[in-house]
């Protein structure tokens, strides 16, 4: 989170946004750091659309774009920073611009987003917090701009929607999400191949890590809480990178009866990154903030220092407190 901006942020309608984009000619599109399918899908769908209108467009991503998105990623233009119209897509806070925060953080002309937590750091904001993905917003915007959607735009948009909804699995899906997906299926998007890459493929290293992590499984509080641990040694041994670790967090909440999944990842000798995944009545952000971190209702995190045992002890103590305060009604006996 950044401090409040002194500049005011104007909330725009889709129509106003479409006009603004048509009026400008040189664009820099910024994605968030640790790029996912939604920020990249939004960025490149908008890139291809603006190219159709003969604009000059650069897409800048603070981190390397993972190989798996190559089916819709392309080289973009070189655009001079001075005078460029800067658009951030799916970027809720300027801190998420990573290495581009310093240069662009205070000069984003337009942010297109779906996060209700958007910090309004941009001059103009097109925000639809009911949209499952920023790509839903971009889809509506392209329609309003009378852009003729093609296969590659459809692939980019579908990727964003599919990845941000866990392939239409999560609570953020609405009738509109499925209606847009139906429209995108009219193009040659090969959705099954996209989904196979995004959801059904893991590296052999990750499978090996999974095996090691499963050995660490601990259950607490009448088996309502599961704790998984990833040590530096495991990461070294398997050669697994951080990219796949989100899946360990998901794993921690996947067992029947578990409403609090905890995964503890060692990042340094005495530093552990804690990921929390909860189901109602537990609120992950209550736990995260008590640990000095933060997050959302169902997913939160924090960084905790100490040796593994004391870190675990601390986390479990906080979970116990939050469980007792929640409407759960059951005692959180360890």
Binding residues for a copy of itself, rule: CB under 8 A, are 166-171, 173-179, 181-183, 185-186, 191-192, 195-196, 199-204, 207, 210-211, 214-215, 217, 219, 223, 250, 253-257, 279
Q: Which residue, 173 or 302, is less far from a copy of itself as judged by CB?
A: 173
Q: Are 264 and 227 in contact (CB under 8 A)?
A: yes
User: Six-digit token pair at 90?
Assistant: 């799916």
Instruction: Find the shortest distance in angstroms from Cβ 205 to a copy of itself.
Output: 9
What is the spatial distance between Cα 327 and Cα 211, in angstroms, rounded to a whole number? 35
**Distances 306 to 100, 181, 245, 311, 314 between C-alpha atoms, Å:** 32, 46, 21, 6, 10
Instruction: Find the shortest distance in angstroms from Cβ 215 to a copy of itself.
Output: 7
Q: Which residue, 125 or 189, is less far from a copy of itself as judged by CB?
A: 189
Q: Give the relative orientation of helices 37-52 and 134-144 as an angle to the nearest 10 degrees.
A: 10
Instruction: Find the shortest distance in angstroms from Cβ 204 to a copy of itself.
Output: 5
Q: Which residue, 25 or 216, is less far from a copy of itself as judged by CB?
A: 216
Q: What is the enclosing helix (H) or strand (E) of 264? A: strand 260-268
Question: Mapping DSSP to helix (H, G, I), strand (E, B) and coil, where does residue 97 land?
Answer: helix
Q: Which residue, 15 or 190, is less far from a copy of itself as judged by CB?
A: 190
Question: Mapping DSSP to helix (H, G, I), strand (E, B) and coil, where does residue 81 land?
Answer: coil
Q: Which residue, 11 or 185, is less far from a copy of itself as judged by CB?
A: 185
Closest CA to 80 of 46, 56, 112, 99: 56
Instruction: Find the shortest distance in angstroms from Cβ 199 to a copy of itself.
Output: 6
Instruction: Find the shortest distance in angstroms from Cβ 236 to a copy of itself.
Output: 19
């Amino acid at each position: 989170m950044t401090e409040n901006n002194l500049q005011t942020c104007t909330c725009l309608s889709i129509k106003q946004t479409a006009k603004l984009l048509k009026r400008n000619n040189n664009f820099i599109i910024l994605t968030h750091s640790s790029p996912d399918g939604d920020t990249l899908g939004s960025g490149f769908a908008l890139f291809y659309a603006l190219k159709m209108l003969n604009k000059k467009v650069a897409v800048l991503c603070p981190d390397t774009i993972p190989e798996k998105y190559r089916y819709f990623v392309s080289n973009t233009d070189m655009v001079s920073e001075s005078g460029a119209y800067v658009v951030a897509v799916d970027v809720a806070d300027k801190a998420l611009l990573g290495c581009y925060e310093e240069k662009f953080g205070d000069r984003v002309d337009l942010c297109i987003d779906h996060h209700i937590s958007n910090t309004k750091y941009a001059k103009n904001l097109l925000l639809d917090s009911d949209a499952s993905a920023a790509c839903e917003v971009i889809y509506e915007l392209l329609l309003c701009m009378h852009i003729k959607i093609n296969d590659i735009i459809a692939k980019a948009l579908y990727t964003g929607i599919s990845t941000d909804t866990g392939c239409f699995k999560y609570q953020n899906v609405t009738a509109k999400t499925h209606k847009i997906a139906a429209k995108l299926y009219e193009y040659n998007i090969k959705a099954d191949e996209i989904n196979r890459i995004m959801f059904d493929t893991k590296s052999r290293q990750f499978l090996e890590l999974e095996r090691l992590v499963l050995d660490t499984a601990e259950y607490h509080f009448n088996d309502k809480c599961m704790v998984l641990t990833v040590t530096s040694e495991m990461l070294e041994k398997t050669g697994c990178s951080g990219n796949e670790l989100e899946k360990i967090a998901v794993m921690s909440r996947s067992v029947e009866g578990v409403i609090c999944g905890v995964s503890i990842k060692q990042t340094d000798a005495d530093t552990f990154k804690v990921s929390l995944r909860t189901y109602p009545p537990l609120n992950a952000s209550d736990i995260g903030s008590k640990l000095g971190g933060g997050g959302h209702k169902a997913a939160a995190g924090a960084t905790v220092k100490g040796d593994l045992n004391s870190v675990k002890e601390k986390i479990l103590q906080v979970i116990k407190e939050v469980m007792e305060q929640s409407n759960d009604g059951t005692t959180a006996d360890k």
